[in-house]
Structure 1
């Protein structure tokens, strides 16, 4: 049943050097009632481009970690529904319609998972572990907060029911090898901070077996070999992130 009162939607982004994505993602989010960006003092033209858009509110805040940055951004939203996406994600027309219909129904859930299509250099990656990739991107502001102990691949803590949307989000995560490699290294370093806070003691299991398992799991058991050369690249770089995590953890523990 459709709600008698139209529900308002805030589309949120956190950015750092997203000049190549920012125009497209802002155009993509034009259906939202407000768009809010928290930028981590980009050194490219991200801030200037976004600031020139009349329907966009952008503020700058020093980046500490993803969870805190996202929670800060949520605090700026004025509407009850939040659509929190990354600059390299896109809402298809079908998903846009589903979002608008969903939030205006009665008896809605507190949050909704979205499945994602992973795009590798403008083509969909069909396996390599991404075939079941899903993430919560739509939720009620009053019912959700990001777990501050998960500073990367942050987890949304939801008070209430969680459902799934049918239409998929498009994820343009891989544009080229070097950019994705640097992203995986960055994530690995942040994950090292999580492990350090948990007092993890890195052993040969962590530094050698965990990265190897990450690769083999995605490449063999999750079908990465079916993606050909692309599968090898993605599985290798994801395993690299695990290796970096424990290399950085050893540095943190030694004080270097």
Structure 2
């Protein structure tokens, strides 16, 4: 089989890191790229056969590109610390890497667990990411958040999925949205975009309507409402932060 490195980015992931590592144990190398965690993440990771490198976090794309350069093998799978490779996906990856004719990269479906519920509607529906790839043909672009993998060649799709545990407490979830909002605001500010009342008042409302009504987030019960509401909050704070950057405030 072609050798595989699974890269796991971490920062204060003590709650989930062990299960992520266990699900990645079939790989030839597990590489932890840590942003100087302040909890027990590295202590727990050290109980497993992993390689650890540390780097100050600046943005998601740079962090992952740095880790890709440290990997021992050309085939890479990016696994967030709050994600788990399900058994079916593990077997599919092994089977795919045994083939002589492979794509440059592969999209993988995501099942999202939120507030104890497996989400099936809203933004969780048809959620896929390009996670398995050959680094000879792929590199992350310059987006600071929701980073995009630039692929030279054909992208295939795997049938099985990862499980993503997106919720570990309300304060953490809000903090994550605020962190993403600052990165997105910086990205927009760098391209000359400006925030106005339309962005702050209308776009968040439409985001909620789109996720909760058009994409039927209401079918996921109360967690579906919370997800749509907090995601609309994330849109609002993104543009508020952009306005603050425009006016040299924090």
**Same fold per TM (> 0.5)?**
yes
Does 2:45 correspond to 1:45? Answer: no
Structure 1 window deviating more from structure 2 (246-255 vs 43-52): it is 43-52
Q: Which residue of 1 aligns with 2:79?
A: 85
Aligned pair partner of 2:18 in 6, 10, 23: 23
Secondary structure at the aligned position of 1:18 is classed as coil
Preserved CA contact (<8 Å) 1:129 1:223: no
Note the C-alpha offset of 1:175.
2.6
**Equivalent residues of 2:109, 2:129 under 8 A apart:** yes
- TM-score normalized by structure 1? 0.95
2:185 to 192, 212, 222: 192
Q: Distance in 1 between matches of 2:64 and 2:125?
A: 26
Aligned to 1:125, which of 115, 119, 123? 119
Aligned residues: 249
Residue of structure 2 in register with 1:11 after alignment: 6
Q: What is the distance in 2 between the residues matched to 1:40 and 1:198? A: 27
Q: Which residue of 226, 233, 251 maps to 2:219? A: 226
CA distance in 2, matches of 1:204, 1:132: 31
Following TM superposition, where does structure 1 have runs of at least 4 consecutive aligned residues deviating by more than 3 angstroms?
none
Distance 1:230 1:128 in 2: 11
User: Unmatched 5+ residue regions in structure 2?
Assistant: none
Query: Hey, what's the Cα distance between the residues in 2 that align with 1:140 and 1:41?
Result: 27
Secondary structure at the counterpart of residue 255 of structure 1: coil
Of the three residues 161, 181, 187, the one matched with 2:174 is: 181
1:212 and 1:189 mapped to 2: Cα distance? 20
- What do the CA deviations read for 1:30-76 (whole angstroms, capped 9, x no partner)? 100001111111110112222343x2110111000000000000001
Answering whether residue 153 of structure 2 is matched by residue 144 of structure 1, we say no
